[in-house]
Structure 1
């Protein structure tokens, strides 16, 4: 039998499928069109002027199974490089620039962590991985983690005590990089929060040891292929929005202007597939990912997680996901909103309380990285929260 929204259920009421995401108007989604118009106008303003917040941006938002906003602005490629003398980007001639489109892929940076986390929870659901199991039980040669009793849960919640990163990009070869990871011990007390890319790198090694498959294969077979996310994959991705003219001293490696190759220096050193960074995706593909989690793990006939395990993923403090962070969620934060940001300028938020999602993708590091400014992300979240409230009359 089917519900009014088109989802199918078995005779005991269990969900067999969830309605697919479909394009529609803000009104059909239950969002105030005046607020969504303001959202689009404000995002367009972020890419204008000589020193914009980002060279280009894509904003995608929806509620329920309706994709209500999908807009692109600015440039996927605007600069040939960065001039440190003038502290300005070297502009490409207009005919050589590449306009941003809704379907432009972006280097997701740390949004990759969300996919790694889902892949881990899939193994927890199958019973092949224990959430409170010791990392050393799976990776005994990782002496630092094994010797300090770090658990899978601590990796997923950034409470392992591992430092934020290691300079793996400066190691001589893959053997030295692996040796450093294996020896790395916590610098903080396990159980206390310290955000670390190393958590997801260890989790990647654990998942690959457990399943005998690479992380890229796990994410493709377990998440993106069943959901039809055909634009989401590890690089190279030649059509992606450009990122940084990556050079020392502002960067950690000398690689020149990057487009289609992972920006994160450690992910690059590791071959482009890493638990903390390396995925490329588009706004529409990420909308499917958000909608799937809001619908309890299903999208159409595809199911990547059961509702109980989506709840586990999003229960405070969140497994991989950050919860209720006003600094990038704005007024969407407060009742269990979940999401993440990425260093290259990416972010997503899903709000189970209002069945709403917001994706803002921007190449803020083009032509070079700047001090982080998540004010525009928070402002966008506030616009969507107000779009919901205006319809509810709250």
Structure 2
């Protein structure tokens, strides 16, 4: 017999309350949908059902869908060199980089872009065009298609690619191509600060307690919502996106590209360089697959993404299940529990 929804909600409430009491995070919210039916949102600590959380790298899923919508419209191609749009990628090893490489972390770019730090340390104000130029000048660390290396720099390059190819701002592209087509208004790159869970206290960067502004420093330097981070959502809002993802993103992507997001990409992309133990899980377009440290022991068919701030979205089409867990585990410091244990415990219970 399957546990009743009431029992599941109670189990989740106990898990979240215990995590807050243990200091894992000051606030937490969890939303679950089974067979298309949403359970009541569970909250703990300072959170309510209307609290917006900084999604951190869960933002990369919105970046992926936005970029793929441009592929659907013929503006971009998955497997064409991005140098057709970006001058910095027209020569040398970078001339082989494609959008598919960027969306699967196989471009050869480093994990981070540190241009924001160089500007800050030299007392320079953040000037977005100059920072984007610095980002695009980032050299590769490996030939495209020869390694998997999680890269926030790669996803900010997707943003730059989309902006250069359309002439539109990234925030407008994400809103028009994804957010406006969802059945929720509770996902945004510009949240009401008074409804946001705070993140880190960063006086060394002149930010104080960060609230309602993206925690990720690279995204912050680029103005907020970016390719790697900057989206905020309530638990219910992110659940609506997860359900759209589970059902094939109707009205947002073509069925073929929605399925391509789901498909494991690394064996084909890396070829002789593919090592199943590295990274130790699968990867679709933007979507992580079977990342068991947080997806749990039954997550073999699950897809999703986690975020540095203590957030995660898990979607398992084989079980008709969508699971959202949002915390602000970096408040007031990133040096505490990374919430992996909580994410795994919630996944296992659900």
TM-score, normalised relative to structure 1: 0.77
Instruction: Spell out the pairing of 1:165-184 with structure 2 (5 A cutoff).
Output: 165-170=112-117, 171=119, 172=124, 173-174=126-127, 175-184=129-138
Per-residue CA deviation, residues 213-264 of structure 1 (Å, 9 max, x unaligned), is: 112111111111121321211125312111110144xxxx341111111111
Task: Indicate the residue corresponding to 1:225 in structure 2.
Answer: 180
The answer for the alignment partner of 1:310 in structure 2 is 258
Conserved 8 A contact 1:145-1:184? no
3-state SS in 2 of match to 1:331: coil
Q: Which residue in 1 is equivalent to 2:273?
A: none
- 330, 335, 338: which is aligned to 2:303? 338
2:197 corresponding residue in structure 1: 241
User: 1:350/1:314 Cα in 2 relative to 1: closer, same or farther (>3 Å)?
Assistant: same
Larger % of helix: which?
2
Equivalent of residue 166 in structure 2, options 196, 211, 218: 211
1:339 aligned counterpart, secondary structure: strand
CA distance in 1, matches of 2:100, 2:192: 32
Q: CA deviation at 1:361?
A: 0.2
The answer to whether the aligner puts 1:286 opposite 2:238 as a matched pair is: yes
Query: Deviation digits for residues 41-78 of structure 1, max 9, x if unmatched?
Result: 111211115xx100010010111220014111101xxx
Rg (Cα) greater in structure: 1
* 2:75 pairs with 1:134: no
- 1:356 matched to 2:304: no
CA distance in 1, matches of 2:56, 2:92: 24
Specify which of 189, 203, 207 is matched with residue 143 of structure 2: 189
Two-structure CA RMSD over aligned residues (Å) = 2.0
Q: Distance in 2 between matches of 1:233 and 1:281?
A: 6
**Displacement of 1:156:** 0.3
- Using the TM superposition, name which of 265-274 and 183-192 deviates more: 183-192
Deviation at 1:306, TM superposition (A): 2.8
Asked whether the 8 Å contact 1:244–1:367 carries over to 2, the reply is yes
Distance 2:256 2:27 in 1: 38
Number of residue-to-residue matches in the alignment: 322
Quick check: which one's strand share is greater?
1
Q: Secondary structure at the match of 2:76?
A: coil
Residue in 1 that maps onto 2:17: 44
Residue equivalent to 1:365 = 330
Residues 85-140 of structure 1: CA distance to partner in whole angstroms, max 9, x if unpaired? xxxxxxxxxxxxxxx10110111111111001001111222233211011111112
TM-superposed deviation, 1:145: 8.1
How far apart are residue 367 of structure 1 and its match?
0.8
Which residue, out of 347, 350, 359, partners 2:312? Answer: 347
Matches within 5 A, 1:1-394: 33-49=6-22, 52-75=23-46, 100-142=47-89, 147-170=94-117, 171=119, 172=124, 173-174=126-127, 175-191=129-145, 192-235=147-190, 237-238=192-193, 239-248=195-204, 253-298=205-250, 303-316=251-264, 317-335=283-301, 337-370=302-335, 372-384=338-350
1:163–1:186 Cα contact (<8 Å) kept: yes
| TM-score when normalising by structure 2 | 0.86
Cα distance between partner residues in 2 of 1:69 and 1:322: 26
Q: Which runs of 5+ in 1 are unaligned?
A: 1-26, 76-99, 385-394
Distance 1:193 1:144 in 2: 22
Give 3-state SS (helix, strand or coil) of 2:97's partner.
coil
Offset of residue 179 of structure 1: 3.0
RCO higher in 1 or 2 (8 Å CA, sep ≥ 6)? 2
Q: Secondary structure at the match of 2:108?
A: coil
State how far apart, in whole Å, the 2-side matches of 1:221 and 1:72 are.
Answer: 30
